[in-house]
Amino acid sequence: MDNTARSFGDDFPQDARVQHAPTPEQAPEEADAGTPVTGASSADLPQRRRFALADLLLFAGLLAIIVPTLVFVAKSTWSTEEGAHGPIVLMTGIWLLWTKWPSVRDAVRPPPAWKAALLVVPLLLLLPVTRITQIVEIEGYVMYATVLAVAYALVGGKVLAKLAFPLFYLAFMFPPPETVIYAITMPLKIGISEASIAFLKLFGYPIGGTGVTIQIGQYQLLVAAACSGLNSIVSLSALTIFYIYVRHGNNLRYAVFLLLAVVPVAVAANFIRVLILILLTYHAGEATAQGFMHDLAGITMFATALLLIYLLDLALQRMMKKRHSSHKQPAAS
């Protein structure tokens, strides 16, 4: 593990390395032979090849850990509405790491081997157990923790701290645990159902219901988890975090404020979505409401929620500029 970690030294600038000047007796011989003068002796060449081989073996091992789990996650959740944001998070997260790496590469300081082993070995032993259980949430998070532990062994904790945002953001590509989903979605589903019934009663629609079941005319609808707003909350939170980081950097207060706005925006968007589906069912029939229009309503409401987050950001920026300018005027006078 130490040899592999030391190979990251190739990324450091040349002026940070120790250069060995050739002796006067060696320089004429190398010039006559037409070979360039380098700082490495011939004894170092086989050692560098071993480092390259170790890096290759490490890369193959990481692929063996990452690829099967990502394939399982993609088949289980990324093809559904609950996890449709997963591929977006994966691609944008890798892009963030790629762009951030040049600014942190000089901070690479691998920890002692025994510290790295305390993290890596237990997780490597736990990972096969999680794959046997075939629980996508557990396997995904354990795999990601294993990758982070290996990254700590290679580059050290200082680099991981500087890459904290991209690493935290990448965790959104895995679905939240089902127990958490059930605990959160049930109150949201009941609240959206009751609000929809009360709103449409104001316009004289023959509607009623209990819990998450809605009865309008001869049709009966069930408010599913997809309409509760949780899926939008998770997806909007991930994309809002990415938007804040790209546009505003590490502004923690601003990020917290916008993230707090995600919950009401997502719930309001899904409330409108449920109203649209109820009205489509009543006026156009159940087949129309549960077909293409059902998916279109979901996509439209999600896009609307993203637009509301963006407009809220613009409004906050204008308010902050006005406040900043108002503080400057008395000081100037």
| End-to-end CA separation in angstroms for the chain | 64
Beta-sheet pairing, 219-222 with 207-210 = unpaired
Look at residues 169, 156, 151, 152 and name the one whose alpha carbon lies nearest to residue 250. 169
In the DSSP assignment, the letter for residue 77 is I
Quick one: tokens of 171? Answer: 């965790």
Task: Tell me which amino acid residue 306 is.
Answer: L
Could you give the angle at which helices 252-284 and 230-248 cross, rounded to 10 degrees? 140
109 included as an active-site residue? no
φ, ψ dihedrals at 54, nearest 5°: -65, -40
Alpha-carbon torsion angle 318, 324, 330, 333, nearest 10: -90
Contacts of 268 (CB under 8 A, 6+ apart): none
Choosing from 48, 131, 227, 247, the catalytic residue is: 227
Q: Where do the H-state alpha helices sit in the chain?
A: 2-6, 26-33, 44-73, 86-104, 113-133, 136-155, 157-162, 164-170, 178-201, 230-248, 252-284, 286-289, 292-332
- The C-alpha atoms of residue 239 and residue 92 are separated, in whole angstroms, by 10
Choosing from 6, 273, 318, 323, the catalytic residue is: 273
- The C-alpha atoms of residue 333 and residue 92 are separated, in whole angstroms, by 47
For residues 8 and 28, is the Cβ–Cβ distance under 8 A?
no
- The C-alpha atoms of residue 266 and residue 313 are separated, in whole angstroms, by 16
293 CA to centre of own chain: 29
227 included as an active-site residue? yes
Catalytic center residues:
227, 273
